[in-house]
């Protein structure tokens, strides 16, 4: 396949990753983008109506579409700081340091997901107050960290985070309710949209990951808290504005959300293409389920350093440098294994991965 502008085909066996454009778009989503892009609208009305539709999908009181999940974090924080003070909204970065602006975040949740989450908090005028340690956190540590300067607690629901010795979302929400502090849940990487109403005040989703819409985000939750964030749309939100084509593309994706889910059985059918790799010296392939509990099964490729012709680190690096770059889920390559995610693979991609694997094993680099 030839690509425009000197670009080359890239195979995504990593997952719905921002560095690879996250998701491919369905015809319905592309039609939505085309409709939005080819008509004029009163944007305030479009934002208001689309927010109502999104809230209905999320089963929350209110919602707004943002241009990314990161923007949703920033606008949520800004709203928690300024609330309904219009002067503070207009002069956020002069006023935020004078006001309560602490956001409590467990150390194990202070992640870099392609950008540091702490940066997004800072952009909204917030200051991160870390609690706990890299290997765990206790509820009491959160409880004791809450002060008069605290405007919210941020909980990151993600495989990127430390999983062991961490309080559950439900437990943290009980603490927030007890202290009357809003809980913001960053669920950008989650598969489900509903179920957060009774365990958060604000929840954030990516519009382009599980939903498979255009680059966008969703901030949903309590009516008053959403209104605080919406007030920033004409100020810091101007740098994060959402185009009409994005709004219609996301609404179309939400309309068909759930109908495009690849079942575990279908995922396993795709993974069968990688079984022949077991015949290569030093290579073992097994199926592994998502550690965060999502309905995902991947092929885990183990490279035996004593028998293999190259290490896992060398292999995933060579994959990326080929004429057709191949991106794997390589977080644990230094431990001798990496994963292949079947969900983003397009027709013929699995065969090309096996072909490239064999070429590298035969020394045709």
* Of 363 and 205, the one with more pLDDT: 205
Do the beta carbons of residue 13 and residue 328 sit within 8 Å? yes
Sign of CA dihedral 149, 152, 158, 159: positive
Give residue limits of the domains in the chain. Answer: 4-20+261-361, 27-255
Do the beta carbons of residue 247 and residue 213 sit within 8 Å? no
Write the pLDDT tens digit of every residue in 1-44. Answer: 557 778 888 899 988 877 777 788 889 999 999 999 999 999 99
Write the pLDDT tens digit of every residue in 277-290. Answer: 999 888 999 999 88
Q: What is the mean pLDDT of residues 293-319?
A: 86
Write the pLDDT tens digit of every residue in 200-250. Answer: 999 999 998 889 999 999 999 999 999 999 999 999 999 999 999 999 999
Average pLDDT, the chain: 91
Residue 155 pairs with which residues in a beta bridge? 185
Q: What is the mean pLDDT of residues 298-313?
A: 86
Q: Which pLDDT belongs to residue 260?
A: 65
Taking the C-alpha atoms of residue 295 and residue 267, their distance in angstroms, rounded to an integer, is 10
Taking the C-alpha atoms of residue 217 and residue 65, their distance in angstroms, rounded to an integer, is 6
**CATH number 3.40.640.10 given to 27-255:** yes
Q: Which pLDDT belongs to residue 16?
A: 80
Residue 362 banded pLDDT, cuts 50, 70, 90: confident
Q: pTM of this prediction? A: 0.86
Q: Which pLDDT belongs to residue 365?
A: 55
Q: Which pLDDT belongs to residue 88?
A: 98
In order of 151, 204, 209, 319, the CA distances from 196 in angstroms are 20, 10, 18, 39
Write the pLDDT tens digit of every residue in 145-190. Answer: 999 999 999 999 887 788 889 999 999 999 999 999 999 999 997 8
Do the beta carbons of residue 195 and residue 167 sit within 8 Å? no
Residue 54 banded pLDDT, cuts 50, 70, 90: very high
Q: Domain 4-20+261-361 belongs to what architecture?
A: Alpha-Beta Complex (3.90)
Per DSSP, the residues of 134-165 read TTB--HHHHHHH--TTEEEEEEE-STTS--TT
Tokens describing residue 99: 């006001």
Length of the chain: 365
Q: Which pLDDT belongs to residue 74?
A: 98
Most confident of 106-115, 232-241, 356-365: 232-241
Taking the C-alpha atoms of residue 20 and residue 2, their distance in angstroms, rounded to an integer, is 18
Q: What are phi and psi of 338, to 5 degrees?
A: -145, 165
Q: Which pLDDT belongs to residue 251?
A: 97
Containing 63, the helix (H) or strand (E) segment is strand 62-66
Q: Which pLDDT belongs to residue 2?
A: 58
**How big is the CA angle at 262 (ends 258 and 263), to the nearest 5 degrees?**
100
Q: What is the mean pLDDT of residues 114-129?
A: 96
Half-sphere exposure of 114 (CA within 13 A, CB side): 12
Most confident of 2-16, 54-68, 283-297, 332-346: 54-68
Q: What is the mean pLDDT of residues 119-137?
A: 96
């Amino acid at each position: 396949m030839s690509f425009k502008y000197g670009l080359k085909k890239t195979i995504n066996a990593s997952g719905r990753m921002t560095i690879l454009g996250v998701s491919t778009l369905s015809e319905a989503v592309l039609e939505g983008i085309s409709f939005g892009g080819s008509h004029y609208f009163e944007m305030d009305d479009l934002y208001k109506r689309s927010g109502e539709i999104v809230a209905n999908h999320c089963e929350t009181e209110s919602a707004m579409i943002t241009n990314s999940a990161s923007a949703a974090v920033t606008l949520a924080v800004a709203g928690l700081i300024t609330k309904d003070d219009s002067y503070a909204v207009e002069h956020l970065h002069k006023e935020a340091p004078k006001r309560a602006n602490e956001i409590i975040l467990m150390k194990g949740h202070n992640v870099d997901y392609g950008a540091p989450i702490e940066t997004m908090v800072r952009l909204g005028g917030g200051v991160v107050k870390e609690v706990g340690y890299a290997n765990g956190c206790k509820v009491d540590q959160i409880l004791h960290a809450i002060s008069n300067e605290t405007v919210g607690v941020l909980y990151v629901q993600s495989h990127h985070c430390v999983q062991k010795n961490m309080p559950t979302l439900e437990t943290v929400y009980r603490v927030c309710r007890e202290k009357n502090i809003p809980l913001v849940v960053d669920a950008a990487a989650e598969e489900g949209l509903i179920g957060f109403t009774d365990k958060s005040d604000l929840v954030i989703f990516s519009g382009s990951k599980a939903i498979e819409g255009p680059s966008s985000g969703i901030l949903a939750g309590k009516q008053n808290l959403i209104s605080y964030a919406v007030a920033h749309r004409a100020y810091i939100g101007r740098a994060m504005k959402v185009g009409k084509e994005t709004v219609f593309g996301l609404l179309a994706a939400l309309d068909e959300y759930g109908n495009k889910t690849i079942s575990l059985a279908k995922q396993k059918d795709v993974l069968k293409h990688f079984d022949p790799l077991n015949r290569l010296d030093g290579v073992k392939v097994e199926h592994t389920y998502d550690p965060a509990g999502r309905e995902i099964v991947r092929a885990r490729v183990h490279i035996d350093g004593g028998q293999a012709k190259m290490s896992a680190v060398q292999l995933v690096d060579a994959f990326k440098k080929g004429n057709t770059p191949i991106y794997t889920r390589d977080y644990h390559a230094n431990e001798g294994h990496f994963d292949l995610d079947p969900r983003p693979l397009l027709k013929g991609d699995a065969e090309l991965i096996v072909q490239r694997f064999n070429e590298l094993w035969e020394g045709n680099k």
